[in-house]
Amino acid sequence: MNPDEQETARIEARLLAIGEAQVRDMKAREAAQRNRRPWNFDAPAKEPRRWTLPRKYRVPVLLVVAYTVIGTVLGLSLAHQFIWFGEVAYGPLAWLLFLGLLPVIAAIWFIAARIAQAQESRARSWAGRWLVAYPAWVVLSACMVATAPWGWAALLGWAFGSPARVEVQVTSVEQRHARRGCNHTATFELQGATSFRICLHRRLEGAMPPAGSTVEVSGMLSWLGLYVEQVHAR
């Protein structure tokens, strides 16, 4: 065999070996593709990066949230028995504050919702998030901020007030049959300020006169207002 034939034989043998190696590699890939599991449960789950509020903003934000939440709780528990003298001036401003806070709080909740959405591992309903939860949280938050001063005024008026007995005007009386809650309420006016509906259960002595009459009430009186503890009907 001459040198040219030997070289040709070596090239053919090399090409044959390369072809066989490619066939084996292709078969191995096909087998691995068939045997591969759809989910790799052994691999550790990649934790999403959690966004946190910068440290310099944490204390102011915490104070605002605490002021709002505590003021709302106080408003639900104490303000219904309190005649706040500042209600005359703050009442109209509360509506303006509520309307002015809506776009600000809407932007804050929008950013918070987008951050929470990016960090969630399971997608939630778009309609439930943006058509129900988002508007509800915006309106509720603005309402809580605007009405929080009522609760704080009631707390301070009760804490720093002095026992007193004053005469107030009855602006409305309501008596209804209810299985739950208070079924006998009234509103009073003192120095131009009107109270919320005060429950008369265990606070009323005697028969309640109609609206337009005057009665004496006792409670804690301060420069902020009067916390009504007892109604003395004639």
pLDDT at 84: 94
Q: Is the pLDDT of residue 48 over 60?
A: no
- Count CB atoms within 10 A of the CB of residue 71: 22
Tally the domains of the chain: 3
Domain coverage including residue 4: 1-34
Q: Are residues 149 and 189 located together in one domain of the fold?
A: no
Q: Are residues 107 and 174 in the same domain?
A: no
Contacts 24+ apart (CB under 8 A), 229-233: 229/81, 229/203, 230/203, 230/205, 231/186, 231/198, 231/200, 231/203, 231/204, 231/205, 232/165, 232/205, 232/206, 233/204, 233/205, 233/206, 233/207, 233/208, 233/209
- 124 shares its domain with 209: no
Question: Would you say residue 40 lies in a domain?
Answer: no
| 180 within some domain | yes
- Tell whether 46 is covered by a domain: no
Over residues 127-172, the pLDDT tens digits come to 777 888 889 999 999 999 999 999 999 999 999 999 999 999 999 9
Q: What is the pLDDT of residues 82-91, one digit of tens each?
A: 999 998 889 8
Q: What is the pTM of this model?
A: 0.69
Domain-located, residue 45: no
Closest CA relative to residue 217, chosen from 230, 227, 200: 230
Residues 154 and 84 in one domain: yes
Same domain for 192 and 154: no
Q: Is residue 43 part of a domain?
A: no
**Does 173 fall in a domain?**
yes
Q: Is residue 99 situated within a structural domain?
A: yes
Does any domain span residue 174?
Answer: yes
- Inform me whether the pLDDT recorded for 43 exceeds 60: no
For residues 94 and 152, membership in a common domain is answered with: yes
| CATH number of the CATH domain containing 219 | 2.40.50
